């Protein structure tokens, strides 16, 4: 049974400091037995999407490139599957919110580019990120079949379902979500409840494990929720982090539970694939 580690951390002053600190966390997680390690969303940078500023495009990196080279060497040295969330400079004026997936031998299995891009006060992501075109890949790693989605993707059952249909036993969601000061007193608890509940529902509907890794701390007025969690196929919270603290959240993943659950509740068998054509429409009128 592979052990999964989620790295819930804060914001750092520079990319170099963030990388060095996360390398320390990755090494500690591996030393404690982790075989799959995942970072929070955009772990090298602040959550810079609170404002629209063209200078902030300078934070992006080419992928593959020096960043993925360093991550790959680390994965190979430690013998871990490493999932990292990065700001990608793909081409002139073209940027993505991207996850890199390294296998336990250090090879870069590929990239997933965030598909659903939000636009809200304090989350100005459409200014920075082009919607992903990588499809819904599932990575057959040394420690299981893993689907990786990013933050706003976590609200969409279609994305989770497509990755589960591709064979994913574990869905991982690097995340940066928090409260705005003006909303927290009246909506804070409800917002967090919705975020956690919809993802637990994805675990149940697809009979798989699900892990969400969030930031902690406050930056540019956003108070990140923390509360990273791992849910089993029944949607039960198997492990959960605190709100404020940096934590390495660990849990053993028993993939036999995935097959057992899908035999008892055969949702894939009973899907009416002949009747869902309207899902490809924007709206039914």
The residues annotated as belonging to the active site are: 41, 114, 151
- Are 96 and 125 contacting, i.e. CB atoms less than 8 angstroms apart? no
Residue 101 DSSP label: E
Q: What residues have CB less than 8 Å from 17, skipping those under 6 apart?
A: none
What are the structure tokens assigned to 143, written together? Answer: 């420690």
- Classified as helix, coil or strand, 71 is helix
Q: Is 48 exposed, middle or buried (0-12, 13-18, 19+ CB in 10 A)?
A: buried
47 token code pair? 């959550």
Q: 89: closest CA among 44, 66, 59, 111? A: 59
Dump the DSSP string for 223-246.
EE----EEE-TT--EEEE--SSS-
Closest CA to 95 of 145, 58, 47: 58
Give me the torsion for CA of 21, 112, 197, 277, rounded to 10°.
Answer: 180
Q: Are strands 209-213 and 170-174 parallel, antiparallel or unpaired?
A: parallel
């Amino acid at each position: 049974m592979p052990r999964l580690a989620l790295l819930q951390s804060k914001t750092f002053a520079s990319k170099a400091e963030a990388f060095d600190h996360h390398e320390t966390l990755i090494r500690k997680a591996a030393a404690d037995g982790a075989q799959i390690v995942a970072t929070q969303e955009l772990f090298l940078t602040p959550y810079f999407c609170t404002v629209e500023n063209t200078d902030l495009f300078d934070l992006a990196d080419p992928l593959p490139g020096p960043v993925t080279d360093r991550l790959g060497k680390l994965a190979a040295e430690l013998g871990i599957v490493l999932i990292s969330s990065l700001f990608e400079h793909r081409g002139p004026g073209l940027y993505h919110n991207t996850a890199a997936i390294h296998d336990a031998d250090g090879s870069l299995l590929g990239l997933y580019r965030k598909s659903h891009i939000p636009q809200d006060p304090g989350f100005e992501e459409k200014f920075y990120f082009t919607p992903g075109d990588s499809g819904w890949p599932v990575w057959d790693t040394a420690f299981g079949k893993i689907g990786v989605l990013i933050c706003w993707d976590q609200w969409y059952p279609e994305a989770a379902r497509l990755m589960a249909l591709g064979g994913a036993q574990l869905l991982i969601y690097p995340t940066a979500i928090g409260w705005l000061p003006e909303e927290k007193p009246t909506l804070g608890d409800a917002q967090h409840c919705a975020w956690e509940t919809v993802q637990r529902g994805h675990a149940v509907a697809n009979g798989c494990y699900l892990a969400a890794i969030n930031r902690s701390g406050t930056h540019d007025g956003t108070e990140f929720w923390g509360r990273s969690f791992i849910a089993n196929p029944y949607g039960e919270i198997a492990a959960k982090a605190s709100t404020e603290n940096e934590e390495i959240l660990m849990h053993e993943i028993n993939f036999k539970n995935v097959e057992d659950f899908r035999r008892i509740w055969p949702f894939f068998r009973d899907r009416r694939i002949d009747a869902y054509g309207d899902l490809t429409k924007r709206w039914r009128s």
